[in-house]
Amino acid sequence: MTDLDTFITGLPKAELHLHIEGSLEPELMFALAQRNGVALAYDSVEAVRAAYAFSNLQDFLDIYYAGAAVLQTAADFHDLAMAYFDRAAADGVVHAELMFDPQTHTARGIPFSEVIEGLLSAMAEAEARHGLTSCLIMSFLRHLSEADAFATLAEAGPWLHRITAVGLDSSELGHPPEKFAGVFAAARAAGLKLVAHAGEEGPPAYVTGALDTLQVDRIDHGNRALEDTALVERLAASGITLTVCPLSNLKLCVVDTLADHPIDRMLALGLKATINSDDPAYFGGYVADNYRAVAAARGLSRADLARLARNSLTGSFLPPEAIAAHCARLDAFVLAE
């Protein structure tokens, strides 16, 4: 490891944009398929990895949903989450906010309880093993109807006290934020935080819609907001957090190369950008890999990297006292380097 690699790993950081189903590595996919008697369309780990050549978001989603079929029991979801937590802890993650897609599983006949109980047990184990705290973001699939999202919110009722936020993911184009205005209002009334994918493949208007109609607390991705000067000024003035995912942007052709990635431009414009891994098993790297990749491609300084880590902590849904403690730890780490 270079000195910069060590610095990046050592930075206390939060991960705010992580789809737990997207951390399903091919090795675990095969193990769970064998455990559950699920037939896969691929005959080897290498064949699965070779299939991870996407030209757009939908290509990725097709294989993502197929891979999720191996997840059937609470033990499967526990093992999936623990594999992520172990990697995250090694990357210097002190807090993770896990997005999960219950509709992907309930549509296959998997009870909601199996999904969430498995995740909750892993979260408790991760805190005991690594001191890594976490919370859950229940994401609605935007290619489905709002009625389906309302049904999922109702099904989550017994566990709402263990869910911190709701989100909006899956196919962005053709499914504007306004489609889910009612269910987001209901989630807000229930005391949940709100986030939404916007401006990844969708236009800047989707970011505006997420802010105005859904009244989100954070924007997931947000890259295309840069096309609208007034929107950039609004985002900077409000201090709303953007959960940016560089390797995902590269893999899904949001940018042609990481040399074109706008992360440093976002910082220069005063945007509260953060670095995250999105679906790391599919996109080629966990959170520290994302930091290293953009640091190399865009020549980010240690001060830039520390700012990104601080943004992740202050942009989290942790209570103020926990944020303050993590930021103090970050300051001490940077000062000692």
CB atoms within 10 A of CB 203: 17
Q: Is 215 left (phi over 0), alpha (psi -120 to 50) or beta?
A: left
CB atoms within 10 A of CB 177: 25
d(CA 237, CA 260): 25
Tokens of 12: 């206390």
CB atoms within 10 A of CB 304: 18
Residue type, 295: A
Q: List phi, psi (to 5°) of 58.
A: -65, -40
Q: Which of 21, 25, 200, 201 is catalytic?
A: 200
d(CA 81, CA 73): 13
Q: List phi, psi (to 5°) of 321.
A: -70, -35
Active site residue 200: yes
Q: In what order do the strands lie in the sheet with 165-169?
A: 13-19, 93-100, 133-141, 165-169, 193-198, 218-221, 241-244, 272-275
Q: Where are the alpha helices (DSSP H) in the chain?
A: 3-10, 26-36, 45-51, 57-67, 74-90, 102-106, 112-130, 146-155, 181-189, 204-212, 229-238, 246-251, 263-268, 280-283, 287-298, 302-314, 320-336
Which sequence positions are flagged as catalytic?
Answer: 200
